[in-house]
Structure 1
């Protein structure tokens, strides 16, 4: 007489074991992103092979595919991942600061500090426009969104008078571009982990105060159209 095989009940993992596995997986994924950023910073996207990335991370080649479907999948996450990390550092350091100009100065200092500590970021950012356009677009959308929100608050509090709401997008792009070129110019002449050049920050803040704060007493310009 045939016997019916007893159906096994799947063994459940304890919450601690599950959490531990998830934590290890998160660390491994973070390490791959960390290594990819450094490899791109040294060799560029095109020569940042999976073999180089996993070798830098001290992992087997096959481990890569447990976390990313392809090299491009990783590249599409790389810039937004570290871009948000940089922006969050600014947000944390500026917490409790009062007013547009104080927050803006803290932000300028913190970004300069981040870029000095992580010189690979410039290549990750600048080559992304061609090699990882989705990542580049995502990063710039987030930067612009945060800056625009910041400017809207400053306008509502009367700190940047003389500008209409529909001009804030343009202001955001102008300020982002000014800061990018300021960093690019000074980082090219500064050793890693150097201090922010005080004169550069002073000049930048003077420019902001006269270009933005001065709008209150400036003559009203008639808009075209």
Structure 2
């Protein structure tokens, strides 16, 4: 997975190394997701991963470094989970609907992403900003491509992209982390309808 990232000079060169790195990142997600950055520990991560303390330092120099890598990894996981849904959609509104549906399902099985990304604002502001800026940039690029195909308004841009991302983030918080009582399909259909038609009362023709 592209998100697997040790220090630049410590990237694993073997399949076993990649599995160990993956185990460390997955364990870090659980450790920081449960305890937060400050209470989480390297020993807690290695215990959860089932690896020796020395194995951690093979890939990371500090708790800050593994946290930074984890934020990148989780951002990449979201992108890779959503990408197939975008590829299979017919039309941009359908693509945004599919993307939201995929994200809500992802967030329901990775609730820790919200605590980790929120803490990144204070632990590693650059990673926090990069997570959202890169996500919005991907949305903006696909909106502009859709505009060129004549599928959406030709004035779509950065503001629209950030608005869509903001909706998705808070819908994931409300309907994945706080409560799972609403079907993800219903949420995605509601938002797609709003994107397609807005919320103003339509005057009769």
Q: Same fold (TM over 0.5)?
A: yes
Structure 2: distance between partners of 1:202 and 1:89: 19
Give unpaired runs (5+ residues) of structure 2.
Answer: 1-11, 201-205
Moved more, 21-30 or 36-45: 21-30
Specify the SS of the correspondent of 1:84.
Answer: helix
Displaced runs of 4 or more, over 6 A = none
Q: Over the residues paired in the alignment, what is the CA RMSD in angstroms?
A: 2.1
Q: Is the 8 A contact 2:101 2:184 kept in 1?
A: no
Q: Is the 8 A contact 1:80 1:135 kept in 2?
A: yes
Question: Match for residue 189 of structure 2?
Answer: 202
Matched, 1:119 2:124: no
Structure 1: distance between partners of 2:143 and 2:159: 11
Question: Match for residue 9 of structure 2?
Answer: none
Q: TM-score, structure 2 length as denominator?
A: 0.84
Q: Is the 8 A contact 1:108 1:201 kept in 2?
A: yes
Structure 1: distance between partners of 2:16 and 2:133: 31
Which of 135, 156, 168 is equivalent to 2:148? 156
Structure 1: distance between partners of 2:92 and 2:191: 14
Q: TM-score, structure 1 length as denominator?
A: 0.77
1:138-166 deviations in Å (ceiling 9; x for gaps): 212221221111110111122222x52xx
Structure 2 CA distance for partners of 1:196 and 1:40, relative to 1, 3 Å: farther
Q: Is the 8 A contact 2:27 2:48 kept in 1?
A: yes
Question: Match for residue 54 of structure 2?
Answer: 62
1:21 CA displacement: 6.2
Rg (Cα) greater in structure: 1
Question: Match for residue 64 of structure 2?
Answer: 72
Specify the SS of the correspondent of 2:157.
Answer: helix
Number of aligned residue pairs: give it: 188
Structure with more helix by fraction: 2
Q: Equivalent residues in 2 for 1:57-206 (5 A)?
A: 57-161=49-153, 163-164=154-155, 168-187=157-176, 188-190=178-180, 196-206=183-193
